[in-house]
Chains A and B, each alone.
Chain A
């Protein structure tokens, strides 16, 4: 059941609790008439940009100026992002289901439509509203503060919960990333929010694709081709190697080619029977610029966005995921529970550890490890991420399993209960020895040990 927003003060307090004041939401609430009350059984349909002209008894046509939370939005114009933004606060706009004509041309400035409005007139709208019934029911089940939350993570959960679907990406050549989430038009912070939610188990990642992207500008629009390993030219071609059994001459086919015939350049005999007097034991990639040959060509890229070029080893492989609500995520959306962010979670872990040790009067120290990229040569971010992951695993192996390690790559903090800082300092060379030889790209590893007093001082000062 849906209540009209008539308690703007209470809602403003809720919003304020959620993430501080939000001017956009307060301005919108200020539009609300004092005693606007509608029957809960009627559907409140917000026409954007103009109210709908429905005569149905079950439908209340509202306008953006009414300040009423709609059950559904129906586009009466082009259905652009700016129209939608002008009509509703961004979080509410992202959550409320939308009826409109499907944009088959994929215009970039269109708001994503959830239910297609097929045809025009009252009947088409009734049909669409009937299809939107489940959406509306779920929309009405959301706590009010969720609709106005300034936390994009909660908004995303609510948006997916209302639609009972995941956020699936779509391949496109129209943007530099070469894929897009249609939902991102309604919620620009979608990718970051979805990743954070997935880390917490509120969304489930499902593999969609991998995009190879430019290490400079992260564009996926790359031209990838084989290059000469010697001069870097793309003017390369495959050539067969010919082995003439009789004289042991083995060379590229072009050296044997004499018109349409094959003639051995060493003994001048015609090569006539494949498998009897000659064969082709392999293929080389020959450069037409410098004549270099190799069986394994380098593969290079040119970024069509920024024009940078290099070996594909330097590119980033970005995994593209579709995100689906997990059962916990669904519960979270309908309960409207606040989601703490990563840094806050890390800080609270740290605080808990310090409080626990201090209360018990126990000695403790903290080992901070920071990885820094090697200054030698260019490294791909893929290798760097891999190195960070490997480092985290090795660091965990150095200590017993009870030691808590807080990770925020490339910074890692090991919380060492019952350890004296001088003992840990003595063990630093051993720790380095256990880790550094395994890190192939040889990053710089800075290690620092803080005793309880030093650490508390740092924490207090911050």
Chain B
């Protein structure tokens, strides 16, 4: 077996050595364009910069305005209490908690009321009919008394200084409108699928957003954990109807000229889907929503002749198209072309690519662990060899399907994430 692999590798090496630079670029354009230049180099540069500059501070330097934590949940009886207790253990604890039960059919509201009686929750609101996350958060924001909102998902728990780290940028920079927290996966040990997502979160959020922050391109404050200034929130009228409300809201904030930051030391833990089916379902929704938000709702941001156009917004929009959509859509064609063009050598080339990506992933993964300072994440290392295969083959194909169905069939309009009564109003604007 080993001799077979070494034989294949030796053949691949011979094949590659025989190629000219032009033909190598033709063969590996997707890897070079999508993986090497866009992600690996940028991420590694960011990691190096962050490791040289430790910007973690303790305490909040100036008094903050009143802070409200907004929690909106639908059927969250199993997680709401843990989330609230985790919030109340924070090093910064001068905040109110506003809970909205969005039409749950379980004991969510009873638990909220019990927490209120315990003095852990300040306000508990019960909605008999589910309206979706965006209206729920808008309601919580109207009821909250704070000038800073921290929006969290009910299935999250936090490092003890997560809120302090999340709010620090507001104290240091009064021009910031929003800060995104850092998300890590809590249930990585549950399954292989969850472990691979844990690596993905670590690389794409902990390091990816740090990179985006370095070049002022944080364009999605995660709905699971982020903070907003009330005046900016109200200026743009809160969240809009539709899925991908966190991405949409951040883009709208940025389009109004507000700045958005990422707090890498503000760490929140969330549960990732544990089965492949659940993962694919979740990602279909995310990818369709991203497509809808960027290409249908905010298409004007692409065009320089539009009044709303700004270069810093065009960068992330075009980045999405060129480095996310394009490689995703061309990937199946590339594989077919490669196999057709190179025959058996095509397989060898794909194996070589996988090995190169594994080496890149290893560097990026270790950088991400160093940047977050969470050494416990090193336990994910054994799963790394599967990561690039999972990302390049499985998730890319899945994303391709999601984009295609959204592009052709507008499938996001059938998502149950937004209740049917409101779905009809998710118009292209």
- A interface vs B, CB < 8 Å? 229-230, 241, 243, 245-252, 255, 266-267, 275, 277, 279, 281-282, 284, 292-296, 313
Specify the chain A residue showing the minimal Cβ separation from B103: A281
| Most chain A Cβ neighbours within 10 Å, of B242, B245, B421 | B421
B241 at the interface (CB under 8 A from A): yes
Looking at the assembled complex, report how far the CB atom of B427 sits from the nearest CB atom of chain A, in whole angstroms. 8
B9 at the interface (CB under 8 A from A): no
In the complex, A282→B127 CA distance in Å? 5
Contacts of B125 in A (CB 8 A): 241, 282, 284, 293-295
Contacts of A251 in B (CB 8 A): 138-139, 142
Looking at the assembled complex, report how far the CB atom of A355 sits from the nearest CB atom of chain B, in whole angstroms. 50
In the complex, are the beta carbons of A248 and B116 less than 8 A apart?
A: no
Q: Beyond A245-B422, A266-B238, is A296–B129 a contact (Cβ under 8 Å)?
A: no
B131 at the interface (CB under 8 A from A): yes
Contact digits for B103-126, partner A, Cβ 8 Å, 1 yes 0 no: 100000100010011000011111
| Most chain B Cβ neighbours within 10 Å, of A229, A250, A251 | A250
Contact digits for B122-153, partner A, Cβ 8 Å, 1 yes 0 no: 11111111111011101100110100000000
Query: Which of A229, A241, A292, A296 has a CB less than 8 Å from the CB of B139?
Result: A241
B240 at the interface (CB under 8 A from A): yes
Q: Beyond A230-B122, A294-B123, A296-B116, is A247–B128 a contact (Cβ under 8 Å)?
A: no
In the complex, are the beta carbons of A248 and B241 less than 8 A apart?
A: yes
B425 at the interface (CB under 8 A from A): yes
Q: Beyond A281-B103, A293-B143, is A249–B124 a contact (Cβ under 8 Å)?
A: no
Top 3 closest pairs, chain A to chain B, by CB: A281-B129, A250-B135, A295-B126
Given contact pairs A248-B240, A248-B245, A282-B126, a sample of 17 additional A-B residue pairs in the complex whose CB atoms are under 8 Å apart: A241-B127, A245-B241, A245-B421, A246-B241, A246-B425, A247-B241, A250-B138, A251-B142, A252-B142, A281-B127, A281-B129, A282-B129, A284-B125, A292-B123, A292-B145, A294-B125, A296-B113
B382 at the interface (CB under 8 A from A): no
Contacts of A246 in B (CB 8 A): 241, 425
Contacts of A295 in B (CB 8 A): 101, 109, 124-126
In the complex, are the beta carbons of B116 and A229 less than 8 A apart?
A: yes
B61 at the interface (CB under 8 A from A): no
26 A/B residue pairs, CB under 8 Å, sorted by A: A230-B123, A241-B127, A243-B127, A245-B422, A245-B424, A246-B425, A247-B425, A248-B131, A248-B134, A248-B135, A248-B240, A248-B422, A249-B237, A251-B142, A255-B142, A275-B421, A277-B425, A284-B143, A294-B123, A294-B124, A294-B125, A295-B101, A295-B124, A295-B125, A295-B126, A296-B126
B349 at the interface (CB under 8 A from A): no
Contact digits for B409-429, partner A, Cβ 8 Å, 1 yes 0 no: 000000000000110110000
B239 at the interface (CB under 8 A from A): yes
A-B CB contacts (within 8 Å), total count: 90
In the complex, A248→B135 CA distance in Å? 5
Contacts of A249 in B (CB 8 A): 135, 138, 237-238
Looking at the assembled complex, report how far the CB atom of A305 sits from the nearest CB atom of chain B, in whole angstroms. 27
Looking at the assembled complex, report how far the CB atom of A44 sits from the nearest CB atom of chain B, in whole angstroms. 64
In the complex, are the beta carbons of B135 and A229 less than 8 A apart?
A: no
In the complex, are the beta carbons of B124 and A243 less than 8 A apart?
A: no
Contacts of A313 in B (CB 8 A): 117
In the complex, are the beta carbons of A250 and B139 less than 8 A apart?
A: yes
Contact digits for B86-110, partner A, Cβ 8 Å, 1 yes 0 no: 0000000000000001010000010
Contacts of B130 in A (CB 8 A): 281
In the complex, A308→B392 CA distance in Å? 70
In the complex, are the beta carbons of B237 and A250 less than 8 A apart?
A: no
Contacts of B116 in A (CB 8 A): 229, 294, 296
Looking at the assembled complex, report how far the CB atom of B238 sits from the nearest CB atom of chain A, in whole angstroms. 7
In the complex, A267→B143 CA distance in Å? 19
Contacts of B138 in A (CB 8 A): 248-251
In the complex, A230→B117 CA distance in Å? 12
Contacts of A248 in B (CB 8 A): 131-132, 134-135, 138, 238-242, 245, 422
Looking at the assembled complex, report how far the CB atom of B413 sits from the nearest CB atom of chain A, in whole angstroms. 14
Q: Beyond A245-B421, A281-B103, A294-B124, is A266–B237 a contact (Cβ under 8 Å)?
A: yes
Contacts of A266 in B (CB 8 A): 237-238
Specify the chain A residue showing the minimal Cβ separation from B418: A248
Specify the chain A residue showing the minimal Cβ separation from B140: A250
Q: Beyond A241-B139, A250-B138, A294-B124, is A281–B240 a contact (Cβ under 8 Å)?
A: no
In the complex, A245→B245 CA distance in Å? 14
| Most chain A Cβ neighbours within 10 Å, of B126, B130, B136 | B126
In the complex, are the beta carbons of B123 and A293 less than 8 A apart?
A: yes
Contacts of B143 in A (CB 8 A): 284, 293
Specify the chain A residue showing the minimal Cβ separation from B130: A281
In the complex, A449→B211 CA distance in Å? 67
Looking at the assembled complex, report how far the CB atom of A9 sits from the nearest CB atom of chain B, in whole angstroms. 67
Specify the chain B residue showing the minimal Cβ separation from A294: B123
In the complex, A229→B123 CA distance in Å? 8
In the complex, are the beta carbons of A279 and B421 less than 8 A apart?
A: yes
Q: Beyond A246-B425, A248-B240, A248-B241, is A281–B142 a contact (Cβ under 8 Å)?
A: no
Looking at the assembled complex, report how far the CB atom of B169 sits from the nearest CB atom of chain A, in whole angstroms. 27
Contacts of B128 in A (CB 8 A): 281-282
Contacts of B126 in A (CB 8 A): 282, 295-296
Contacts of B109 in A (CB 8 A): 295
Contacts of B424 in A (CB 8 A): 245
Contacts of B101 in A (CB 8 A): 295
In the complex, A295→B104 CA distance in Å? 14
In the complex, are the beta carbons of A245 and B123 less than 8 A apart?
A: no
Contacts of B132 in A (CB 8 A): 248
In the complex, A281→B143 CA distance in Å? 15
In the complex, A275→B129 CA distance in Å? 11
In the complex, A250→B136 CA distance in Å? 7
In the complex, A241→B130 CA distance in Å? 12
Looking at the assembled complex, report how far the CB atom of A249 sits from the nearest CB atom of chain B, in whole angstroms. 6
Specify the chain B residue showing the minimal Cβ separation from A275: B421
Contacts of A294 in B (CB 8 A): 116, 123-125
In the complex, A251→B109 CA distance in Å? 19
In the complex, A279→B421 CA distance in Å? 9
Q: Beyond A245-B422, A248-B138, A292-B123, is A267–B237 a contact (Cβ under 8 Å)?
A: yes
Contacts of B131 in A (CB 8 A): 243, 248, 250, 281
In the complex, are the beta carbons of A247 and B139 less than 8 A apart?
A: no
In the complex, A372→B116 CA distance in Å? 27
Specify the chain A residue showing the minimal Cβ separation from B123: A294
Contacts of A252 in B (CB 8 A): 142
